[in-house]
Amino acid sequence: MSGMIPKYYKRSRAKDSLVGNLFSFLNNFMNTKQTPEEKRRLEKVINKSYDVIEKSDYISRDLSWIKFDERVLDQARDNRRNIFDKLKFLAITASNLDEFFSIRVGSLYNYIDFGKERTDYSGLREIPFKKTLMVATQAFVEESLRLYREEIVPDFAENGFRIVNISELNNEETEQIVDYFSRTIYPMLTPMVFDHTHSFPSLLAKTLIFGVVTRSENERSENGKNENRKISFVQIPQNLKRFHIFEREDETLFVPIEEIIRHEIWKLYKNVEIEAVSLFRLTRNGDFDMVEHEDSETDFIDEIRKKIKDRRLGRVTRVEIESGCSEWMLEMMLKRWKIDKNGIFQSDNLLDFTAFWQIIKHPEFKSKQPLQKSSVPALGLNSQTPDNIFEAMSEGDILLHHPYNNFEPVLQLLEQAAEDPQVLAIKITLYRISKNSRIADALLHAAENGKHVSVLFEVKARFDEENNIREAQRLSKAGCFVIYGIPGLKTHTKLLQVIRNEGDRVKSYAHLSSGNYNEDTAKLYTDIGLLTTDEVLTRDISEFFNVITGHSQPHSYERLITAPRDMRKRLVEMIHNEADNAREGLPSGICLKINSLQDKITIDELYKASQSGVPVRLIVRGICCLRPQRKGLSDNITVRSIVGDFLEHTRIYYFHNNEEPKVYGGSADIMVRSFDRRIESLFEIHAENVKQQTIHILDWNLKDNVNAYEMQEDGSYKHCASPTECGMEPFDTQKKFFKVSMNEVMQAKLFEPVEEVLEEVLA
């Protein structure tokens, strides 16, 4: 490389372009980790890769994901946030990256290792794409480490704490550390040697591990020279806290457990020379396919448990290791785990930033945490918790917008149904529930009270499998009719139905949602939920439950759109309708708020709608494979992402429909998996007052100038200009939704009538 600047960086100096920002990092990366020949080859691959990426009409799903994590990392730069908030976002990005390497990179290795072909949306084949992806990820990690080292660590002391090494402790504290090691840590440590008489040990994923290189005076190689080296591994117990804490009069000290072990590790190696002690951490492939058995529930559960174990010991996809590690050990790792040098992530800081949660939650800093705003009653409810939820729902549809509205009405519906003698049955789909869930407890009580309880419990929810299996079996033992998911599909839809005998008739009460039945995440995720007794919608829900719990195929639904049945087809039809209206000069418009946009068929239809003159406004929090604002392709499409204190999880689909809007909420994103491999549902929001509330949510999301990022044609994102710099009032939706008025809701609109647009242009 020797000072050469990759041709793309000459062509575009945009700091945050999708691949352009890699090259400012690439020189340093190449100079420190690559041989001259490796540098030349990697430079050639990256330059050629960007030429392909630049021409593609689609953005790579995985490169887009990295851009999302960059937006999350951006929150840790925000000087409006205190140090604990910044650490929180560093911890979130670290957790996100763990999942990325476990699932997305794991999936990529499934193709590479088994010789299968794959072409990414960017147009790259699997090998050049992996190299491009690894360089992009190295750049992201490098920036995370720099941000922590240069901008966050210097603020620790003034906030009353420090992360320290043993050398920074006084004599009394050091004695306590040595005693803690001897009494608690030492008995739990097990050195595992690897040599010609010992097989390579099973090293767990996402666990801190010491690689210890030793020499022995008594062991000599065949040529008689004392060159015989051995490596052994010491896994740090996961059930011990990451930091040992000292409370001084004026500050709190956090001593990492790895530094305690490093200080005392010689006690594990008597009469041998320790040549090197290197801390590292592995990420393994967690992307497994489920072999499902329709004939045996036990086989199915056992298969899941086996796959969970496989995930812990799957193919290595990343090695995080401290700087200055043993090069001999590193070379051995590269050969053993068949990974390239760009799969090694070296750090001169703390490994695994998820450790910051222990600092954030330390009682000493509770008063310094941002205060959680109190939720407000949903419009249409007089209080957060109506005395009788059945009476409140009978008065009309209620839209819940979490966390601005409390999750309590949903819990009330279940808890009152469990005790109400008039309730005959409860049906629910569960995907992720909280620990010590009130949802599960209410279902248990309902079964104990003799009600029929049907639960479709998706035990294949990734990383929640063990908790879901445990809870599902508990419900089953209590007498609930539990279905452990559907063979070949994940049940992701969020539906709840309560059947109540009201004397002259049997009435159905329902809740449909974009989010999980989880009272913990309802405080952290933005979601919508609909409480309804609408007979048309509840009839659809009854039919849908018959399909997913029994053997039924209804001809059609009136207000539900379901997958894998017809969701993609129905959405494409509504996109076509908007395009037809635009061509005929009628008002048109599409506004979607989703988490991810990846389905190529739907993207192509949005491109065609844009070319027909349809204004398309997309609010996509995370992955977006659509390329906006490309001349002749997507001129009329804008994409924005909102990233702030809450995880934007709401899904709303709006089609202007010649000024008679069709609006849907639900659990599905525009993803291949959502349309083809999941049981999903979108529900039509029919009542005019509730429809207007969803329009208002979209309207305000498009006005946000504090948490919003605008996606550029090249796939990069630009943070909306600072309101104060532009002389604008800050419009922070994640604050404003806590004090919304009915008047503001009624004023909201998305696409101006044609006449109003013309008047505005003329004015």
User: How do residues 675-692 score in pLDDT, each as one tens digit?
Assistant: 999 999 999 999 999 999
Higher pLDDT, 343 or 289: 343
DSSP state of 722: P
750 lies in the same domain as 602: yes
Based on the fold, state whether residues 596 and 726 are members of the same structural domain. Answer: yes
Total count of residues recorded for the chain: 763
Q: Are residues 305 and 401 in the same domain?
A: no
Q: What angle do CA 641, 644, 645 make, to 5 degrees?
A: 150
Cα dihedral value 510, 511, 516, 521, nearest 10: -140
d(CA 668, CA 677): 11
Judge whether 452 counts as a catalytic residue.
no
Residue 421 confidence (pLDDT): 96
- The answer to the question of residue 384 being in a domain is no
449-457 average pLDDT score: 93
Place of tokens 């204190």: 645
**Residue 412 counted as domain residue:** yes
Q: What is the mean pLDDT of residues 267-290?
A: 87
CATH number at residue 202: 3.30.1840.10
Instruction: Tell me the pLDDT band of 291, cut-offs 50, 70 and 90.
Output: very low
> What does the DSSP 8-state code read for residue 364?
G
Q: Are residues 254 and 400 in the same domain?
A: no
Q: Is the pLDDT of residue 96 over 70?
A: yes
Q: Of 25-29, 603-607, 697-701, where does mean pLDDT reach its minimum?
A: 25-29
447 and 349 belong to one structural domain: no
What is the distance of C-alpha 574 from the center of its chain? Answer: 29
pLDDT at residue 295, as a whole number: 44
CA atoms within 13 Å, Cβ hemisphere of 624? 32
Domain termination residue (choose one: 521, 556, 591) = 556
Cα angle at 120 between 116 and 126, to 5 degrees? 40
User: Is 164 inside any structural domain?
Assistant: yes
Query: Confidence class of residue 12 from pLDDT cuts 50, 70 and 90?
Result: very low
- pLDDT of 144 strictly over 90: yes
Does residue 580 surpass a pLDDT of 80? Answer: yes
User: Any idea which of 9-23, 394-408, 711-725 has the lowest mean pLDDT?
Assistant: 9-23
The whole domain housing 210 covers 160-357
Tell whether 362 is covered by a domain: no
Please, are residues 695 and 750 in contact by the beta-carbon 8 Å criterion? yes
Would you call 653 helix, strand, or coil by DSSP?
strand
Is residue 383 in some structural domain?
A: no
Residues 588 and 632 reside in one and the same domain: yes
CATH number at residue 506: 3.30.870.10
Dihedral, 128, 132, 135, 136 alpha carbons, nearest 10: -160
| Per-residue pLDDT reduced to its tens digit, 621-658 | 999 999 999 999 999 999 999 999 999 999 999 999 99
Does residue 43 belong to any structural domain of this protein?
yes
**CA separation for the pair 682, 663 (Å, rounded):** 10
pLDDT tops 80 at residue 320: yes
Q: How confident is the model over 306-328, as a mean pLDDT?
A: 83
Residue 743: exposure state from Cβ atoms within 10 A (0-12, 13-18, ≥19) = exposed
Cβ burial, residue 68 (10 Å; 0-12/13-18/19+): buried
Backbone angles phi, psi at 654, to 5 degrees: -120, 130
List 492, 649, 656, 696, catalytic entry: 492
Same domain, 608 and 489: no
| Residue 6, in any domain of the structure | no
Q: Are 597 and 618 contained in the same domain?
A: yes
Interatomic CA distance for residues 624 and 76, integer angstroms: 23
Please check whether residues 207 and 347 belong to one and the same domain: yes
Tokens for 386, please give them.
Answer: 């109506």
Residues 576 and 511 in one domain: no
On whether both 638 and 742 belong to a single domain, the answer is yes
Same domain, 528 and 579: no
Q: Residue 175's pLDDT is what? A: 96
* pLDDT number for residue 202: 87
CB 511 within 8 Å of CB 530: yes
Whether the upstream peptide bond of residue 661 has omega within 30° of 0, thus cis, is no
What is the share, in percent, of the chain residues with pLDDT greater than 70?
88
Q: What is the total count of domains within the chain? A: 4
| Average pLDDT score over residue span 463-479 | 81
**For residue 576, with 0-12 CB atoms within 10 Å meaning exposed, 13-18 middle and 19 or more buried, which class applies?**
middle
Average pLDDT over residues 158-170: 95
**Distance from C-alpha of 69 to C-alpha of 355, rounded to nearest angstrom:** 18
